[in-house]
Amino acid sequence: MALASSVVELQPSSVKKKTAVSRSWILLDHYGKGTVLDADKYAIMRLVQIHARDLRILDPLLSYPSTILGREKVIVLNLEHIKAIITADEVLLRDPMDDDVVPIVEELRRRLPQVSAAEQGQGKEEACAQDGEEFPFEIRALEALFEAICSFLDARTRELETSAYPALDELISKISSRNLDRVRKLKCAMTRLTIRVQKIRDELESLLDDDDDMADLYLSRKLDASSSPTSSSDAPYWLYGSPNTGSKRHKSSRVSGTTVQRENDVEELEMLLEAYFMQIDGTLNKLATLREYIDDTEDYINIQLDNHRNQLIQLELFISVGTVCMSLYSLVAAIFGMNIPYTWKAPGHEHVFKWVVIFGGMVCASLFLSIVSYARRKGLVGS
């Protein structure tokens, strides 16, 4: 599909006036050359012949989940910050000036041009072998975008691990409000990142489970089949049929020969998708390991808090027992404080007060030790 003429018509209209709904796009051809466009959604719909419902998925103002759609002439890709439309020979990428998108644009410019083996000075046989193994343009673009999103999420996971593990270790060594708040924020960030990674993993898994969806990503084959003179009679339906939204074609309606051909045709793409599926699954496993570490840390903190709570209960018990014993000792002082004449108050009997105080103290101490010994023997307090 050649879109150069459409690009020329598109740019002057965007130069006249920039409306509030205009968005920045970059168009990369099969040579890796980029053209920055400032176009609204209607211009993009005319440019790549896409439905409004499919283009709505790429709207950054709407929270659509990660999606990979194969249409008759385009592939619509919504993976986090990567919002792209891929045709058989061009790639449209939204917001090319975004800090997270700039490296992706550079990677596409590097990987999209198809360099033949003959240009590298190799032999004819090697050149033919390499050309036979070369992926079509749209698959090379998908590979670059999948690698970008997998690397992006893996980098975010490593950053989270770098911050989370020291914070958790610090919380174990010292429980404080500051450390608890820090871990709470890291746990929220981990939960959000896990949801993002899970969505992309589910989308790749859904794509791998359906050979028809993978076959729809081969735009070049469908384009060749539709332009072939025998395409209407000999080409299988799955090569050029446009899928309906949310529909799955039943495999039982195909003949066995077509099924074998389809499986062979999508085998290379399936291996490519499985590689990135394993990579994103590894990232998800890292987050699961981090979650388990956080859960273990929470359990350890709860055990520590329970232990401190038990120590406070023991201290409260000792204070209560001591208070009871001191109340008995204060009874002696209350008796001596009464204004009642006693014989030991007479001169010559002062030693009686001393022995009463000593005896009362010994009785209170013995009572305190007896209560504490009984509590330890019954396991009410620690040793």
How much is the pLDDT for 117? Answer: 38
- pLDDT value of position 230: 52
Over residues 326-351, the mean pLDDT reads 70
Cα 90 to Cα 34: distance, rounded to the nearest angstrom: 10
Class of domain 21-106: mainly beta
Q: Which residue has the higher pLDDT, 291 or 334?
A: 291
> Taking a C-beta distance cutoff of 8 angstroms, is the pair 221, 136 a contact?
yes
Q: Give the whole-number percent of the chain exceeding pLDDT 70.
A: 74
Q: How far apart, in whole angstroms, are the C-alpha atoms of residue 58 and residue 97?
A: 16
Using pLDDT thresholds of 50, 70 and 90, give the confidence band for residue 369. Answer: confident
| C-alpha–C-alpha distance, residues 12 and 85, integer Å | 22
In the predicted structure, residue 228 carries a pLDDT above the cut 80? no
The answer, yes or no, to whether residue 131 has pLDDT greater than 50, is no
What CA–CA distance (Å, rounded) separates 161 from 155?
10
User: 75 has which bridge partners?
Assistant: 70, 86
Strand ranges, E, within the chain: 23-29, 34-39, 67-70, 75-79, 82-86, 90-94
* pLDDT tier for residue 114 given thresholds of 50, 70 and 90: low
* Least confidently predicted of 66-75, 112-121, 153-162, 185-194: 112-121
Confidence category of residue 2, pLDDT binned at 50, 70, 90: very low
Per-residue pLDDT tens over the stretch 247-279: 433 333 343 444 444 444 778 888 999 999 999
Residue 58 φ then ψ, to 5°: -90, 5
Q: What is the mean pLDDT of the chain?
A: 78
> Does the pLDDT of residue 26 top 80, yes or no?
yes
For residue 70, what pLDDT is reported?
A: 87
Structure-model confidence comparison of residues 341 and 344, the more confident one: 341
Task: Give 144-185 pLDDT, tens digit per residue.
Answer: 999 999 999 999 999 999 999 999 999 999 888 999 999 999
DSSP string, 136-160: PHHHHHHHHHHHHHHHHHHHHHHHH
pLDDT of residue 184: 93
Residue 205 pLDDT class (50, 70, 90 cuts)? very high
**Domain coordinates in residue numbering, the chain:** 21-106, 308-378
- Could you tell me which residue, 224 or 370, shows the higher pLDDT? 370
Mean pLDDT of 228-248: 44
